Amino acid sequence: MAGADSGQETGGAVHQASTAGAADDRSQTVLTKAADAVGSTEGAPLGKSSVSAEELTPTETAEARWYHRRSLQLMQIDFGLDLAFWAVFGLWVVRPLNAALRDLGGLFATETVRLVVVFLAMTALHVLVAIPLTFYREYLLEHRVGLSTLTPTRWAGRYLKRLMLSTPLSLAMILGLFWLFWLLGCWWWPVAGVVSFLLGAAMVQWFPVVILPLFYPVRPIERPSLRPRAERLASAAGLTIDGIYRIELSTETVKANAMLAGLGRTRRVLLGDTLLDQFTDDEIEVVLAHEVGHHAHRHISKMLVAGFAMSMVGFWLTDVMIRSTAAQPALFRYTDLGPTALPWLMMFFALWVFVSEPAMNLVSRFFERQADRYALRHASRPIAFFSAFRKLARLNKEYPDPDRWEVILYYSHPPIAERLELAQAIVGKEAG
Ligand SMILES: [Zn+2]
C-alpha cells in the first residue's frame, strides 16, 4: 500500500494486478506502476467498435484474445495462490517457527530479530511457490506471442535483481510497521499512512533516476527532426527539453511504450526505443503530447494523493481488523502483535489492494482520457493519433474487446476502441 503510481504510461497493457504480497510481486507492481505509460489500451465498453477491429486480421485478433485471456487468468491464479500461501503459512508454519526461534534464546529472544527471520523465511518460501507461475507469465507466455526479447538467463538475472531490491525494501517497511504498533499503539495507522505517503513520493522521485536505469539503459533522445516539436510541446507545459529520454525497452520486450515519470527535478518523459524506431515523427509527437498532458494536468502528484487516501483507509481497516480478530478483543494490546501476525497482515494488505485497485484504475482511466484530449489539442498533426494508437495496440497485442468487468477490475487505461472514439469526436473522421 506504500504508494501511488509513480508515473503515467501511454500504452501499457493490463495492470500487473499483483498483490502487495511478498517481495517479488511487490517489486513487479512498483516497476510496472511507477510510470505512466502511453499505450495501455484496455477493455472496450463500446464492444466491437469497427474503429479498433479493422486493423487487425482475424489471426491477430485471435492471438490478442488468447493472450489477453491467459494474462488475466494468470493474474487471478497468482492472487489466489498468494492468499493460499499466506493462509497455509499463517495456520501451520509461523507459530512453530516463531516458537522454535524463541527456544533458541540469545538474539532470537528479541521480537525484531524473529520478525526478520520469519519475514525472510516467508519470502524465500513464497519465491519457491510462486516462481514457476512467474516464469510462465513473464517468460514463456511473452515468448509464445513473440513479445519477449529475453533469454532464460537474462530473465533470471532481472528476476534476481528485482528480488534483491524489493526484499530489503519490504523488510524495512514491515519492521517500521511493527515498531509503529509497539511504540504508538492505536496511533500507528495515521502515522503509517503519512510515512507511506512520504516513502511513495520518494519512490516516485527516484524511480526514473535510480530504479529504471538498473533495468533499462536510459539516455537523452537524439533525433534532430523531433527536437523542435518536443521543444514546442514541452515549453507549453513548462517542462524542460532536457527532460525527454530514450529508454531501451527492447532489452526486454518488443512492446512499444512511453511514460512520464519522476517528481520535481527528476520529472522526465521516457520514450521507448521500440516506439522511436518504428513510429513516424507525427506519431511520436502525439505520444509525446500525451505524456506532456500528464505533466500539464499534474497527474503524478494527484495519483500520489489518491494513493495516500487509499493507504489511510487501508491502514485504518487493518487496525479495525487487528483489534476485532484478537482472541480477547477487550484485553488486546498492540505490544502483543508479533511475527505470527505477519502472514495475516500480508493477506489483508493484498485483499485491500485488490479491493481498492478498481477505484485507482477508475481515476487512472480518467487521467488517461485527459492526457489523450491534451494530445489531440496540442500535437501539430492530431490525425496521427489514430495510426499511433493502432500501431501501439497491434505491437503490444492488445485485445480490442475485453469485457466490461475486466476493464473495471484491471484496466488502468481505457480500451483502444474508446480512445479512438474520443479522438474521432475531437478531430473528426480520420479521413478528414
Ligand atoms: Zn497516459
Q: Taking each helix axis from N to C terminus, what angle separates 299-324 and 342-378, rounded to the nearest 10 degrees?
A: 160
Q: Give the pLDDT score at 38.
A: 55
Q: pLDDT (tens digit, 9 = 90+) per residue, 303-360? A: 999 999 999 999 999 999 999 988 888 889 999 999 999 999 999 999 999 999 999 9
Q: pLDDT (tens digit, 9 = 90+) per residue, 347-404? A: 999 999 999 999 999 999 999 999 999 999 999 999 999 999 999 999 999 998 899 9
40 alpha carbon – ligand 1 mean position (Å)? 8
CA 126, 183, 309, 30 torsion: positive or negative?
negative
In the block, cell 505490544 appears at: 335
For the ranges 88-97, 214-223, 389-398, the one whose mean pLDDT is highest: 88-97
For the ranges 9-23, 228-242, 287-301, the one whose mean pLDDT is highest: 287-301
Tell which residue, 32, 30, 25, has the closest CA to residue 11: 32
Q: Give the pLDDT score at 326.
A: 85
Q: Give the pLDDT score at 259.
A: 94
Q: Quick one: pLDDT band at residue 2, thresholds 50, 70, 90?
A: very low
Can you read off the three cell numbers belonging to residue 392? Answer: 501501439
Q: Give the pLDDT score at 253.
A: 96
298 alpha carbon – ligand 1 mean position (Å)? 12
372 alpha carbon – ligand 1 mean position (Å)? 7
What are the strands, taking DSSP E only, across 239-387? Answer: 244-247, 258-261, 268-272
The angle subtended at Cα 8 by Cα 45 and Cα 220, nearest 5°, is: 135
DSSP letter for each residue of 236-275: HTT--GGGEEEE-GGGTBS---EEEE-SGGG-EEEEEHHH
162 alpha carbon – ligand 1 mean position (Å)? 24
Q: Taking each helix axis from N to C terminus, what angle separates 342-378 and 416-427, rounded to the nearest 10 degrees?
A: 30
Q: Quick one: pLDDT band at residue 428, thresholds 50, 70, 90?
A: confident
66 alpha carbon – ligand 1 mean position (Å)? 25
137 alpha carbon – ligand 1 mean position (Å)? 24
180 alpha carbon – ligand 1 mean position (Å)? 36
9 alpha carbon – ligand 1 mean position (Å)? 4
Asked whether residue 18 carries a pLDDT value surpassing 60, the answer given is no
Average pLDDT, rounded, for the chain:
87
393 alpha carbon – ligand 1 mean position (Å)? 14
328 alpha carbon – ligand 1 mean position (Å)? 49
Asked whether residue 36 carries a pLDDT value surpassing 90, the answer given is no
Q: For 270, list phi and psi in degrees, rounded to 5.
A: -115, 125
Q: Give the pLDDT score at 218.
A: 95
Can you read off the three cell numbers belonging to residue 394? Answer: 497491434
Percent of the chain scored above 70 by pLDDT? 86
Q: Give the pLDDT score at 6.
A: 44
CA 116, 117, 122, 124 torsion: positive or negative?
positive
379 alpha carbon – ligand 1 mean position (Å)? 15
Rounded Cα distance, 349 and 409, in Å: 17
Rounded Cα distance, 118 and 94, in Å: 7
Report which DSSP code applies to 186: G
Q: For 18, list phi and psi in degrees, rounded to 5.
A: -60, 145
Q: Of residues 20 and 428, which shows the higher confidence score? A: 428
**Averaged pLDDT, 282-298:** 96
